[in-house]
Structure 1
Amino acid sequence: MKNIRLSHLIGVALSVILLLFIGMVTLSISNFSNLNESRKASEYESDMLQQLTEGVSQLRYSRGMISRADASLRRGDKVAFERDYQFANDALHTYEQKIEVYLGRAQRSAEAATLDEAMMQTFNEYVENVINQGLLAARSGDENLMTKVSESENAINKRAEVAFIKVMDYRNRMVQERNDHVNSQINHALFITISALVLAAIIVGLIYFIFRRSVLSPLLRARQHFERIAEGNLAAPIEDMGKNEIGALFHTLKNMQEELKVIVARVRDGGLVILDGAREIARGNTDLSSRTEQQAAALEETASSIEEFTSTVRQNASNADRAREITREASCITERGGKEMQDVVSSMKEISATANEIFSIIELIDGIAFQTNILALNASVEAARAGEHGRGFAVVAGEVRSLANRSANASGEIKGLIESVSKRIHQGSDVATHAGKTIQDAVVRIREADQFVDEIATASIEQRQGIEQINTAITEMDAVTQQNAALVEESAASATSLEGQSNNLVALVERFNVGSQSSRHHSSVPTAGTSSTRAQPTNTRKERTVSTSSRPDASQSDDWETF
């Protein structure tokens, strides 16, 4: 049974049940068809019997109406007579219709035909001798005929009644036989149905037994295996259940259990690795949070220093602008001094030219004095030659000569002074020229200094703008650092939560019993120990900060930077 496929077994069971169902339905249809035919026949016979009884009733009613019509006629009530007479005729016609329907029925037996024939003879005799004669007597008012009809009516009525009773007895017997046949069919159908139900119950019980043994019991054992797996027991052996679908299910369950063993072992080892990593992350995040806070404090101090430096640079830029204005004013003043020095040099040159002219005039006077002296000397010689006559002329010539000498001396002194003045004028002119060149050089230098000061002022403005941008960037860095500090704190909290979840995961995985692999047990560190370990980096953080400041090498930094 273990190697029979469930699909085949279920197909056979469903086929048997289907055959049983078809057989039961066929028998039911056949029985119901027979019962329906019997029911229709019984209804038809009942209807025919009803037609007969109604016809007899109409015949008797017609006889009663004839008697009433006769009585009405005797009373002289013609209206009542006509009415009762018409009722009698109508009842007679109705009788004839009912009897015609009754006699026209199908499937009459020989006995029924004989009885019907005998009954109809008595009925016809009754109609002819009683009804028709009664109608004739009532219409004609013949009392003798009516009396004769009444006298013959009893004998004919008795014969008709006997024949009618025989027919009714036969009809009742036929109805009873048909009812007995119907009851027999019902009992037969009931027996067959009960037998089929018993057989179906036996087959269903057998099928249930087979399914219980082949399907339900293995499924119950599979449920027990699933419950053990749900409880964490992965070491219970799973038996072989054959090569059918149930066997494939148990084989798959066994493979699932083996895979779960491997997965649980890997999850447990991974959980321990995650737990260790979470602890390291928590410690690193705590240390990083402290360092981030220190960095934020340092950035605040840097921002404050840069703010002060920005104020100083702004002041320097303002001083540079003032120096540039002063340099421009000095450049203008120096340019005006250069122009005035050029005017002085021009004036000195004009004075030097005038002095040269005076010197030429003095030389001319000196020449005149020298010639006058020569003339006076010649006059003295001539006066000496003249003697007494020339004595006065000699005195005049002496005076003239004396005047010429004094003029020559004065012109010599003036010449010396003029030469001295001319030398000084030349020296002053040279000095003025040199001073003008110096002033021009100073103007050039002042212009260069003005350009440098202008460049310094421009650089100071740019430096001020750059410092302001740096200050803004430092402020933003401070805000980002504050956010990073908050994120690091959140990360530290998440790492702590991850550590707790890892502990829970390891504890949850430890529920599973994986057999020989359960010896690979790792003890988890309690939460209190974790919190005490996490509290240690607070003291070491300051030492790391000091060592970092004394050793700026990036290769000597702590692990949190790499993290």
Structure 2
Amino acid sequence: MKLSDLRVGVRISLGFAAVLLATVIVGVVAITRMQVIEDNVEEMGSDWIPSINAVNAYRGQLNELRRAEMAMCLKEVVVEVEQEQDRIKTLRDKTLPALAKAYEPLISSPEEAAQWKEAQAKYAVFIALQDKLIAARKAGNRGEYQSTVNNESGKAFVDLVETMQKLVDINTEGARVSVEDARKTFKAVLVTMAVVILAALAAGTALAVYLTRSTVRPLTQMVDVARRVAEGNLAVEVDTSRNDELGQLAQALAAMKTALNQSLVAVRTSAESIAMSSGEVAAGSSDLSARTEQMASSLEETSATMQALTDTVRQNADATRQASQLAVSASEVADRGGVVVAEVVNTMDQINVASRKIADIIGTIDGIAFQTNILALNAAVEAARAGEQGRGFAVVAGEVRSLAQRSAEAAREIKALIGSSVERVDTGARLVGNAGNTMREIVSAVQRVTDIIQEISSSTQEQSTSLIEVGQAVQRLDEVTQQNAALVEESSAASESLREQAGSLRQVVAQFRLQD
């Protein structure tokens, strides 16, 4: 397992642990060496210096003892001599033994013990000479005690002091050695701590550099990736080989980049599809708008034609009513003709004239029916073009066409009958002898004509009503067509706006460098 695979928290903890370990090592070394220094100082404070002080105190009291001895020899007053003798006694019996007792536990080396033993021996020599001196002084032998104090006792004292000085020198040397050892230990501590600190500093610096590089470098790379993604470059590669928190961050950044890339690719595809579809919708809307305008124009023409057809049918109805009235009149004339035979010829002439008029009217009705049939056929075609909205109009147009065909058939029948009547009228003069029979036939024929004309009148009335309904349907269809035209224009405008927005979206997406 590589160190770079460790989590950042673990690596930082290891770094702090290393620093703490170095600190502990420095502390342990310092404490250990300081303990040595403390031992040296303790030795100097509890042994050498007290020994020097004790020896110096002992030597000082020896000096007092020597001064008391010399004062005893120099003084002449008995009381003063006795005082000096008492002081000598006190120093010898109390002070010096107490100082010796305090010093002896401080002896720490065989050399010092030997030197102290030698000092005690010389002290005994000095005390023996002093006893001799005191006895001579008490005996009043001036020459003897003066000679003793100046020669033997003085020499013994000097030897004793020199021995005591050696003891001071021994302890002074011991103190010096302790100080030197402490100094050496201190220097060793300084060197050791300096080495350990430098090693810890080097290790900490190396570890800090490693941690910084192992953390800052991938962070810098990810910041660069984030900046390039922010600039629109989604084709940048992300290093996801690490297994620590930075690797997890890199993996999350790579996943985010991939998801954003996929989203923008989908948006780009959708924008292109929307742009293409909106273009097609706009083109279709324009075509539909043109067709709707053509249809509206055709409906206006159809409405005008239907209005003219309605007027023509209305005129046809008026003519039919007139023909019905004429037929009724002809019937009355035929009835009267049966009574007045003399007026048959004259009546036949009138019938001939009326028949020709009827023939003309029937011809007119036939033409109207033919035109109505043509208009109904055109209306059916336009209704078929209108699709679902023209279905009702197609039904009405079919009914109009059926009525027109019926009117045409009735007109042809009437025309045939009128032709027959004309022929009979032409031969009426020759058949005047058969006037009665002929008049009955005429009455019957006129009755049939009256019925037919009434049927034509009824059919014409129905045609007029149907044409009015057709006109209303055409008008409503025209209104719907106008509304459709407005909706088509709005749809065309919306399609154009959608196409422009799709183009803007494509331009926005084009700013990104995508990874296909």
- What's the TM-score once normalised by structure 2's chain length? 0.43
Task: Output the TM-score relative to the length of structure 1.
Answer: 0.40
